[in-house]
Structure 1
Amino acid sequence: MSGHVTLEWDDRGGVTVVMDGTPQSHVQPDDPTVLVFEYVQHLAAVVRVLAPGPLAVTHVGGAGLTLPRWVEATRPGSPQIVLEPDAALTELVRREVPLPRRHRIRVRAQDGLTGVSALADSSADVVVTDAYAAGRVPGELTHTAYVEQVTRVLRHSGAALWNLADEPGLRYVARVVATVRQHLPHAALLATHEVLKGRRFGNAVLAASRVPLPLDALRREVASAALPTGVRAERELDRLGGGGRPFVADSCASPPPPDARGWRVR
């Protein structure tokens, strides 16, 4: 196992996967539709507005398998592949927080770039990239080479999602947006208003596709979010952070998270 991992249960029957002191994911085994972390709620909001019925979903990053469990509960019968290189972590989670019966979730002990590169063309309706190392998104998961592989794996109307983290100003996110839109031109960014307005370090979910996203439906979804959440899409993204230079010849991990006391800048 890559780090010290604990499973911390709460009095509501939920469990949080904590790695090296940092919460990685939260699972409510008795009701997987309960999503605690705001960025997971944002990922789910995008999936919720896609075409009805089962979806073929590839997840890069596993931890507590929160989103795969949610997809199974809300879109039963969806075939899902999870790429999680930490086999010991997966074994711990599956032993202590078992998956539901008759699920179609398959976990492969592979890193994201290797695993996605091995998938067949046009084999996924959704590819979710939600993987962190030492609190940062690895540079290889936002580089143009990775985006090319994700695009190849996606079906024509499929959507790719990234869970990103950035400092006020969103300069890193702007570079990821520029990289992704070279291949998937229709994009939207979801985040709390505090993050979008540059008031704090935090997560932002990027959704992108070859075809226009259902933005009206997505805005209706986030209107009921627990925390005030906004959607920036299409031309609005051109102004984000003054634009960004794609990760083509270079790459970098997302900015390191600050001490929790410094996440808010006001």
Structure 2
Amino acid sequence: MAARRDTREPMPGRYTVTFGEIELLQDLDRPGGWVLSKDGVPQSYVDLDDPTYLDFEYVRLMAVVIDALPPGALDVVHVGGGACTLPRYLAATRPGSRHIVVEPDEGLVRLVREQLRLKSVPRLKVRVLDGRSAVGGLHDDSADLFVLDAFSGAVMPVELATVEFMTGVSRVVRDGGTLLINVADGKGLPFTRRVLATVRRVFPHAVLLAEPGIMRGRRFGNLIVAASTRELPLETLTRQAAGGLNQARCTYGEALTNFIAGAAPIHEGQPVLAPVPPSTIFGN
């Protein structure tokens, strides 16, 4: 069944959601472009006229990984909903893909449905749950792609970066499927190293993608972890990451092992703090 066509125009402004307030801003350079922002931190960007347009650098890197996967429709789990940028992208680039979007903020889901034409995205289901609860209720071997892009404000919930959570994810991801994680980190990248150590406990193959300055730990920013039970398309990822707008680096193999450099995996109950971006990074 075709998705319902919704042509209502979004209304910019501030909206109360379950966990605070969201500001909906229009991109003055792109008539169909809209940004969801919370506490001055941009959370999501969508172009309602062109879902293949990806504004955020880290989302473009996620798309590099997605585009390198074998062709065809995918069964995808997204933990962290926002404005559902990647489900829209996949609906356009891989028609027939099915999506389960996990988002704990019911008010945010309602806002995106009402203002950003969420009903127009085919084969998408939203579950208003936290990530751990949602993963526990998913079927074994049900996802080709698992996207973890969950933040509370600008901070990744540590409970979604543990060995226990990744073990649950591995139950859901099919053999040869792919895990994608958006990690935010700063000087020295200590949190990213621990996240990679955690992922490698469960998924034997992994790569790290980021803009060179962020990869070197010189400035705070987003890094993308991709992992699988099977070898990832390393040459394609390296070439496409370097050739895009980001001119990003792809680290894997021995270089990735050296990058992790003995960092300890994260387990539930450990007092680990996810990094908080400096207040100046978003122009505040």
User: TM-score category by the smaller chain?
Assistant: over 0.9
The amino acid that maps onto 1:58 is: V
After superposition, the Cα gap between the structure-2 partners of 1:242 and 1:123, relative to the gap in structure 1 and judged at 3 Å, is: same
Aligned mates of 1:94, 1:100 — CA distance in 2: 6
Q: CA RMSD in A?
A: 1.5
Q: For the Cα contact (< 8 Å) 1:185–1:210, is it kept in 2?
A: yes
Q: For the Cα contact (< 8 Å) 2:91–2:121, is it kept in 1?
A: no
| 2:87 corresponds to 1:65 | no
3-state SS of paired residue (1:259):
coil
Q: For the Cα contact (< 8 Å) 1:139–1:251, is it kept in 2?
A: no
Q: Which moved more, 1:13-22 or 1:235-244?
A: 235-244
3-state SS of paired residue (1:246):
coil
Q: For the Cα contact (< 8 Å) 2:196–2:260, is it kept in 1?
A: no
3-state SS of paired residue (2:165):
helix
Aligned mates of 2:171, 2:163 — CA distance in 1: 12
Counterpart position of 2:275: 255
| 2:73 corresponds to 1:54 | yes
After superposition, the Cα gap between the structure-2 partners of 1:195 and 1:126, relative to the gap in structure 1 and judged at 3 Å, is: same
After superposition, where does 1:92-107 map in structure 2 within 5 Å?
92-99=111-118, 101=120, 103-107=122-126
Counterpart position of 2:228: 209
Aligned mates of 2:281, 2:93 — CA distance in 1: 36
After superposition, where does 1:1-266 map in structure 2 within 5 Å?
1-11=18-28, 12-13=30-31, 14-99=33-118, 101=120, 103-240=122-259, 242-248=261-267, 250=270, 252-260=272-280
In the TM superposition, residue 10 of structure 1 has moved relative to its aligned partner by 1.7
Q: C-alpha deviations, 1:93-135, integer Å up to 9, x for none?
A: 1111103646011111011111011100000001000000131
Q: For the Cα contact (< 8 Å) 1:170–1:240, is it kept in 2?
A: no
Aligned mates of 1:157, 1:227 — CA distance in 2: 27
In the TM superposition, residue 260 of structure 1 has moved relative to its aligned partner by 2.3
Where in structure 2 are there 5+ consecutive unaligned residues? 1-17
TM-score when scaled to structure 1? 0.95
Q: C-alpha deviations, 1:69-115, integer Å up to 9, x for none?
A: 10111101101100001011011011111036460111110111110
In the TM superposition, residue 187 of structure 1 has moved relative to its aligned partner by 0.2
Where in structure 1 are there 5+ consecutive unaligned residues? none
The amino acid that maps onto 1:8 is: L
The amino acid that maps onto 1:187 is: A
Aligned mates of 2:139, 2:247 — CA distance in 1: 38
Q: C-alpha deviations, 1:1-53, integer Å up to 9, x for none?
A: 20110110122120000112211010000000000000101111111101110
